[in-house]
Amino acid sequence: MQDDAPEVIASTVDAPWLPPGGVADVVLGGPVLRPTGLVRLLLTDEDRVFCTRRDGSGKLDLPTARVGAEDHDGAVAIAGLARQVVGGPVPLRYVGAVRNTVTVPTPEYEWPTPVAVFAVWTTDAVPVVPGEWIAGSAGSVLAERHWYPLFRRLVASAH
């Protein structure tokens, strides 16, 4: 998908998880967006998604890693996350990202402004760490995750 033109497939204006006026766009394909704040690894098995527990909240989510200040596109972070989750270096494909646009930051908003990117990558490898395979069908608990439209598009393109 990396060579495809980017496509905004979902947009949330005045997203409640962002400072007032913030917009969250789900962008499918295209080049890796910058600056990347987090990388997520989307592992699928048909209509199921591999999830681990989030630090802090304990909610199920994609395996995730923070991106260091010098790693603008998250390449180092996603390679490290993949090694940790699937046990070694594997070919990765960029799926897309959630792009937050915040023009007026607030003290509690920790991400870069005006744009922060949360990139989603996938691979055909299988996890070697503990986690759960969660159904990603309509009504899934995962439907509230910001990256969920990327998963639905990925599954649709596979069939």
The answer to the question of residue 2 being in a domain is: no
Residue 22, domain CATH = 3.90.79.10
Helices (H) and strands (E) in the chain, counts: 2, 10
pLDDT at residue 1 in the model = 41
The answer to the question of residue 138 being in a domain is: yes
Per-residue pLDDT tens over the stretch 7-26? 999 999 999 999 999 999 99
Per-residue pLDDT tens over the stretch 59-116? 899 999 999 999 999 999 999 999 999 999 999 999 999 999 999 999 999 999 999 9
* Nearest alpha carbon to residue 94 among 77, 114, 111, 113: 77
Residue 35 contacts residue 115 (beta carbons within 8 Å) = yes
CA distances from 19 to 23, 34, 153 (A): 9, 20, 28
pLDDT at residue 2 in the model = 42
* Nearest alpha carbon to residue 92 among 57, 51, 127, 120: 120
Is the pLDDT at 126 greater than 80, yes or no? yes
Instruction: Give the global pTM.
Output: 0.93
Query: In the structure encoding, which two tokens stand for residue 146, read together?
Result: 């910001």
Q: Which helix (H) or strand (E) holds 82?
A: helix 75-86
Domain with 19 in it = 7-158
The answer to the question of residue 108 being in a domain is: yes
Q: How far apart are CA 101 and CA 20, in angstroms?
A: 11
Per the model's pLDDT, the better-predicted residue between 139 and 37 turns out to be 37
**Cβ neighbourhood burial of 104 (10 Å; 0-12, 13-18, 19+):** exposed
Domain count of the fold of the chain: 1
The answer to the question of residue 1 being in a domain is: no
Is the pLDDT at 155 greater than 50, yes or no? yes
The answer to the question of residue 12 being in a domain is: yes
The answer to the question of residue 135 being in a domain is: yes
Q: How far apart are CA 28 and CA 72, in angstroms?
A: 19
